[in-house]
Amino acid sequence: MNLIQQLSQYILSGLSTGAIYALIGVGFAIIHNATGIINFAQGEFVMLGGMLTLFFSATLKLPLLLAVVLAIVVSTIAGIVFERLAIRPLKDATPINLVIITIGGSILIRGISMLLWGKETHSLPTFSGDEPILLGEATILPQHLWIFAVTTVLIVFSKLFFSYTISGKAMRACAYNRRAAGLVGIDVRRMVLFSFAISSAMGSLAGIIIAPLTMTSYDVGVMLGLKGFCAAIIGGMSSGLGTVFGGVILGVLEALGAGLLSSGYKDAIAFVILLLILFIRPQGLFRKGESERV
């Protein structure tokens, strides 16, 4: 394989991985924009998507499509319960307290999952076969196409939801100014609940579509959640194209670094990029700073 083929393969793999990071990052951004909270339990909903699908399909012997739907529903309910029990009771909590609460929730969900399903790594069947597809100088698995398609549909749906629906506009109003939104009659608590429901559903779907490639276990959400957080930071905590570009940039750079340097640097690359962004442009690459907007 010559250098051009190698680069094409790395970039294609990076785009697929970046799409997953973008999907997880959008979940981070939705909650942050509606509540100001960085939900470090977001990665656990990614894990729940894959593990619940495996449970419903392999253990209960349900059809894969039904297992996927049930996994998303249960994960969404888990997100709602998490908001009602862990976030809503807090009043006038400091940002660091909220971060600690979400980290504690992450550990709790991970521990319960370990007790229920054990520490083994499991795999889901691919959605449409394992025959590689040739694209130019590189090959791609059909599951990668599912990742691209699902991510594109969800990002478009998210854009339409926040731009053209009453609930979406209300959530954007809460993101801009929660007090003013409450004064004009928007139920802020309800919008916060919606944000957790939407982000947990998106996270679980990300976990489902990536599980046939990376496999799944009780602890896969930790690193995927951190990578999604990096994508959201790069994108300026935008629930739109900013985080999508952030995820793609992160995925491609990670793939190139792992392929051209060493796979041992794969995870470190994400955190080096995160540190550089925080030092050089803390508001993200695709968001204007407060002084610029004024």
Helix ranges (H only) for 55-141 are 64-82, 95-117
Q: What is the DSSP letter of 135?
A: E
Q: With contact defined as beta carbons under 8 Å apart, do 42 and 203 qualify? A: yes
CATH of domain 8-124+136-280: 1.10.3470.10
Average pLDDT over residues 154-174: 86
Average pLDDT over residues 105-115: 94
Q: How far is CA 180 from CA 34, 38, 84, 183, 185, in A?
A: 13, 22, 23, 5, 9
Residue 292, pLDDT score = 34
Whether 92 has a pLDDT exceeding 80, the answer reads no
Whether 148 has a pLDDT exceeding 70, the answer reads yes
Report the chain's mean pLDDT, rounded to a whole number: 86
- Of the ranges 148-157, 207-216, 259-268, which one carries the lowest mean pLDDT score? 259-268
pLDDT band at 63 (very low <50, low <70, confident <90, very high): very high
pTM of the model: 0.89
The closest of 294, 291, 76, 98 to 201, measured between CA atoms, is 76
> Which tens digit of pLDDT belongs to each residue from 247-258?
999 999 888 888
pLDDT band at 291 (very low <50, low <70, confident <90, very high): very low
Average pLDDT over residues 22-46: 88
Whether 293 has a pLDDT exceeding 60, the answer reads no
Q: With contact defined as beta carbons under 8 Å apart, do 157 and 251 qualify? A: no
